[in-house]
Structure 1
Amino acid sequence: MKEQNKLIGGLGLSFLLYLIGFLLLTQWIVPIEYVGESGNLMWFYFFVALCMVMAWIGIPWGVTFIIKTTFILWVINSLFYPTLPFTSSLWFNQLIALIQQDIGLILSQQVANISDVFRTVLFFVLLGLLSYLVHFWIAVRQKLFLFYVMTLIYVTVIDTFTNYDASTSIVWMVGLGFLALSLLFLRRMVSLENLHKRGLLKRWLVPLIVLIVASTSVAFATPKSGPIWPDPVPYIQSYADGAGQGRYGKIGYGTDDSQLGGPFLPDNSVVFTALAEVQHNWRIETKDTYTGKGWVSSSQIPPLEFLPSEQVPFSLNPEQPERPKRSATLQFQQEYPHIVYPYGLNSIFIDEVQSLAVQPITQKVSTLNEAGEPVNVGTYSLEYQIPQYSMNGLRTAHTKVGNDIEMQAIMERYTQLPSELPNRVRELAEQITAEEDNWYDKAKAIENYFQRPEFVYDQTDVAIPEGNTDYVDQFLFDTQRGYCDNFSTSMVVMLRSIGIPAQWVKGYTSGESRGAVNTQYNEYEITNNNAHSWVEVYFPEVGWVPFEPTKGFSQTVLLNFDEERPDTTTPDVEDPAEKPEQPQTPEEVEQSSGGSSFSWTAFKLKVETFVKENMWKIMFITIGVTLLLIVLYRWRSKWLPYYLVRKFKNRKHDEKVMEEAYTALLKQLHRIGLPRNEGHTLRTYSARIDTYYGSDEMSSLTKLYEKELYKKESSEEEWKRALELWENLIKKTTA
C-alpha cells in the first residue's frame, strides 16, 4: 500500500486526507463560544492539530497518549491554576479532587453543575477520541462518510438552537466532504486496481476542485426558498420555561446578588492560601440596598485611588493605636481583580499592580493596571490591626446618635427597606428585642434567635421566592431552612426594620488550618466552600461591628468588658505580644522558622515568578521542541540508519550482534514501506527486496544470517562480509 501511495504522489494523498480531517474537526470547536462562556479556544485547535500530526506520522499509541495527556494537563494548569507551577503537586491534587466530585455529580444526574475544569477535560477527551476515529476511518477503513454526517448534524443543531450562524461552515463542510470522499475513493481504487501511473493524484485533484468550486458558487448565486416548517425553537423554549429554577448553583464568590435563594453544590477548589498570625474572616465587599429578592448597591460614589503600601483611605472603625500590628501574606490559586482583607486593614503591599481603588459604598478594593483597568492579582501582603470593642461603648452607642449630616446619611442608607416588606417581619423583630434597651443587646437577641431548633442550615433544600414573595419573609415564616445568605439577610432586614443601621457583608471564613509555618505564622487554606456572608451593625463612635447569625458558624470579636475606651490591650488567647510593623515576605517567614538555609517557599516563589514572567517563551520553546521531536521521529528513516551503522561498526562479533543487526534492517525496511508479509520466509522476502533494489545483497546477507542463526558457524571474514552487505542495504533505505 505504501509503495502504491508513493507512486501516486508520495505522502501527498495521506497528508491531504489528514488535513481535511483536521479542518472537519475544527468545526466541532468553532461553535463553542456560542454555547456558553469560553476562551482560549486556540488550545483546542492546537490539540487537534497535534493529534492529527501524530496520527499522520504514525507515532505509537503509547507515546501519543503520554504527549496528549501532558499537553492537556499543561493547558489545565495554565488556564485554571496559573499561579501554581506545572511541576507542583498542589494543583494536581486539587484537580483530582475536583474531578472526583464532578464524577459524583454526573452519577447523580446533575451534569449541569460540573465545574468548568472538568468540562474542559471532557472536551479535550472528546476531541482526542474524534481525532482517533478520523485516523481510523482514513488509515484503516478508508471511509469518512459517517464522521462527515456526524459533523454536519452537530453543526446544524448548534446553528438551530444558538446564535451561531453555520452558513459558511456548512458550505465549507460540503466542499471538504466531497473532496475527502473523492480522495478516499481514489485511494481504494489505486489499491484494488493496482494503479502505478505517476501524476494520477494531480490529474484527479484539479478537475475535482474545479467542480466543487463551481457547484458551490452556483449554490450561493441561486435564490433560496423560505423554511417549510415553523421554527421549533420558540416552542421548545416555552415548554422548558421555568425548568431552571431547580438548578443547583455553584458556591463561591460572585458579584450578582440580586436574586438570592436556591440550592448550591459544594466546591473544595482552593481560592487562596494565607500565612497569617491568627484566624479570622476575610472581607471583600458589602451591599446596602435590599430589594425583597436580594441585594444590590445603591448609587456609586467615585472610587478613591491610592498606591500600594500607602495607608488605605477608608476605615471600618476609629483608629486604635494601642492595638498590635499584624501581617499576612495571601497567595491566590483563583485570581480576582480585588483585594481580600481582614478587619482593621492599614496597608496593602503588592508588586503586581500600579494602583488600588476603593469604592466607598461597597468598601471593595480593586486592583488596577497602568491604564486604570482591573487586573487579576496572585500574591500580596497585608498589614492590619484587629479592632477591639468596648462593651460599655457598644451598649451606650445608641445614645450618641446625633443630628450631624454624616450620621443622618448612615441612618438613611443603612435602614433602607422595600415598601412591600411584610409587616410581620418588623413585628417579629420588635417581639424578639422587646426586653432590650440598647442596639447591641437587640442585635445579639436577633443573632441568637437564629440558633433556635426550628432553623436548619441546609444547602440543597432551599427555596427561591416566586412572584411577590419576599426572600426574608419566606425564610422566617415558611421554610426556616437555608444557608448563610438566608440567615445574614434576614438579620440585616430585621435590624433595619427596628431602626438599627446594618449592612450585608460578603467574603470568606477563616478556612482550614494547615499547621504552623513557624512560631509566628500559621497557614490557612481557603476554598470556595468558605465563601460566606454575615452582618455588620453600625455603632456611633465605634464603627462597624460584625455579627454571625448563621447556624453552625461563629464570628471572632474581641471585647473589652472593663472600660469604654481601653488604653491597654486586654489579654486574650488570640492577642499575643506586639508584632513587626511591616508584614514579612514568604522568604522571611521561611528563614525565621529556624530551618536550613535553603528555603522551599522562596524557591517555589522564584519558580512561579520565573514561569509567570516567561510563560510565552516557555510555551513557544515547548512547542518548538515538540515540533522538532515530531519531525525527527517522522523522518527517522532518513537519519536512523547512520546511527545504526556507527553502532554496529563498533560492536565486536558475538552470538547476538548478527541477530540484532539483521532485525534492525528488517525494521528499517518496514519503516520505509517494504514490510515482510505474514507467511513469507526470509529467503522469499529477501528475493523481493533484491528485486526492488536490483541487487542480490539481501539474499547473500540472509544466507550468512541463517548460517549464524542455525549452524552457529561464522568466521571473522564472514562477519565482515555480512557487515558490508548490511551497511550497503541499510544506507539504500535512506534514498
Structure 2
Amino acid sequence: MSNSTHSERTMYSLLMHLFGFLLLLEWVRPLNQITDTANLYVFVVFVGVAFTISYLQLVPIIKVTIQAGFLLYFLHSLYFMESFLSKAWLEAFWSHMKYNFNIMLVNDWSAMSNLFRTLLLFILLWLISYLLIYWILHRKKMFLFVVMTISYVAILDTFTIYDGSMAIVRLMFVGMLIVGFVYMERLREKEGLFKDKKIWIAWGTPLVVFVLVSTAFGYLSPKAEPVWPDPVPFLTSVGEGIGNGTGDVKKIGYGEDDSRLGGPFIGDPTVVFKAEVERRHYWRVESKDIYTGKGWDNTDDAINRVDDGDISAFPWFADEVSTDNLTAKLSMELKYPHINYPIGVTNVEALDEDVEVRYEFNEATQKIVTRNSSNNNEVLLDSYMVEYEYPTFYIERLKAVQSGTGSESDEDFYNRYTQLPSSLPNRVKNLAEEITGSFQSRYDQVVAVERYFARNDFEYETTNVAVPRGNEDYVDQFLFETQMGYCDNFSTSMVVLLRSVGIPARWVKGYSEGEFVTLNADGTRVYEVANNNAHSWVEVYFPEVGWVTFEPTSGFNNPYRFTYESISGEGENGNGEDQIPERAEENVDGRDRSESELPEEKADRNNTTGIDFALDITVSWKAVGLIVGAFALTFLLLWTTRKKWSPHLYILLYKNRKDDKVFSLAYAKLLKHMQANGFTREQGQTLREYAKQVDHYFKSSEMQTLTDRFERVIYRGNSSKEEWEKSIELWENLIKKRSS
C-alpha cells in the first residue's frame, strides 16, 4: 500500500493526467487528414472532460453522469434540431437506437447510421481514456503504449497524407517524460522514499532537463535524406502484372472506351484536379446506356450547344425534389476537354480569363465538352466553377413508385434505359426476380439489389479480375462465377439486374469525392481527386423524382441524403433533421459501406460520409449553463450528503462478493471511511493500534476482531474467502456505525 502523502499523490496524478491527455491527443489529431473529420475539438473536449473528472476523483456515479451528459449534448449539437432532452428529442434518439440495434442483430454493420457510429466513437475514446489512466496510475506501465503511439504516427506519416514530423517530436518529449515519471514512482514505492517531499525536485528536475535537451538536440540536428524511397509507389508497383485475370493490366483512370470491361489494373496516384466544395459528392463525366454483354456503349443523340454555360434547361430532378443550391471550384492538374461535375449541375463558368469557351451538352451521355467559341477546337481549362442542386431524397416519395411502373409516357426513354442484349443468360434475369420478388415498391427493389452484393460476400478485387471470353457475359461471369471485381463489375451488374425487372437505370462513370486535404476559413473543403478515384456507379429513374444515385460497390459510400419526410423536421426545405426509421431493412443514410461517420453540416446530418465533420456547431450557452448548473447542483448535493449514502454504496459493492480480493478491498475502504469521518490514523501507527483506538470509542472489540482476521490473510496466508465470509457482518456493522 502506498504511503505517499496527499499532496504528492495530487502532484503525480496531475502530471500523469496531463501527459496521458497529450498522448491520447496524438491519436485523435490526424483524423482531420486521414478521414473526413473536421471538428476535432468535439472529441478533444470530450477526452479532456474524461481526464478532468478522473483527476478530481469523483464518485463513480457522478463521473458517469457527467461524461454521459457531455456525450449526449455533443450528439445533440451534431445531429438534432429538437430541444435538448425534450420529448421529441428523446423519441428521435430512441428511434436511432432501435434502428441500429436491429441492424446489429442482423449483422448488417455497414448499414449503421452516422449518429450511432459517432456514439460508438465517443464510447471508444471514453474507454481508452479510462484504460490509459489505469495503466499510468495503477499499473505504472506506460512504455508499451508510448511505443504504440509512436508507431501509429509513423505509419500514418508513411502511408497517408498526414505529416507526423512535429507529432514525433511531441511524442518523444511527452513519452520520455511520462515513462520517466512512472518509473520514478515505481522506484519510490519499492524503496519506500515517501517522507522526503523534495525528492520530486531532486529527481524530476534533471529528468525534465535531460528530456528537453535531448528532444531539442534531435529536432535541431541535421538529418540525412531517406535511405529508402517512398514505399507507397513501390508497394503499388508490386501489383503491376499480378493477377490471374486474362486481360492486360491497365492503369486506373478515366478513359472513353468501355466496350470491353474486366481485367486487372494497378493504381495511379496522379492528381487529376483539386476541388473546393461545400459538400461531398461524386464527380460525373458521362453515363452510358447500351449494355453489350461485354461492356458499355452509348446512344447517338443530339448535342446541344450551350454558349453561356447554363445547363438548367436539362433538369436532373423533378420540381418537387428538395435541393440546396451549391457551388464548387475545380483546379485541373491533368487537363481534359470535358467538365467534371456533380449530378444536378445547372451552370458552368470557366475561370480562365484568356479563353473564350462554349459548352456542348450531350443529352444521351450527359457529357459536357469544352470548345473554343471561335474555331470550335477542344479547350483544356485550367480552372472552372460549377453551380449545382444538391438533392435530398424523401423515401416516402421513392416508395410511392410501385414495381412495374416507369416512364411509360415516353416509350423511347423507357426502352433506352431498360435495354438488355438478347444474349443475356436467363439465370441473370431469374436472379433479379428472386432478389426483388418479395418487394412491392421500386425503391425497396432497388435497395435489395444494391445490398445483394454485400450480403452475399462479393469481394472488391483489382488484380485477380477475369475478362469474359467467347460468348461469356460480363455480368453473368461476375454474378455466378468469380464474384470478385471492382466498381465496374458491381455497378454494371446492378444496372443489368434492375433492367431485368423493368426498372430504368443507367451506368455512370467519373470520380469519387477524392482525398480530403484541408478545411478553408470560409467552411469549404479542399479535396484532391486522383486517377485512383476513378469510379463508376448507378443512377435509377423514379417518376416524379428524377435520377437517383445508388452505390453497390463494397468500400464506397453513397454521398447523397435519403430521409423520411414525415420526420425530417422541415418538410420541403430539406434542412430539417434527417431521422432514422425503425425498420432494420432501411438504410436511411444512403447505405454506408466502409467509412466511419459524421455530418458535414446541420442541414446534412445524415450524410453518408462516415465520420465526416464539416459543420460549425452553434453552441447554446444557455443550455450549456443549465446543464453545468444541474451537474454542479447534483454534485454539491451528493458531496454534502456523502457520509450518509457512501456506506450503503460500499455495502452494495462488497457485501456479496466472494472473490479472493474482496477482503483487502473492503478493509481498505473501511479504513478510508473511518478516516473521512474523524478517526485519523497517525503516521507510523499499526493497524492493531488503530483498531484499539476505534474500539475504544465504540466500546466494542469489532474492529480488532476484523483486523486480526485481515492480518491472518495477509501474514499467515489464510483463505481470504473464508475469513471474509466470517467477517462480513462485522465489517458492515462498523461501516454503518460511523455513518449513523
Place the TM-score, normalised by the shorter chain, in its bin. Answer: 0.3 to 0.5
Structure with more relative contact order (C-alpha pairs < 8 Å, separation 6 or more): 2
Structure with greater Cα Rg: 1
TM-score scaled by length of structure 2: 0.46
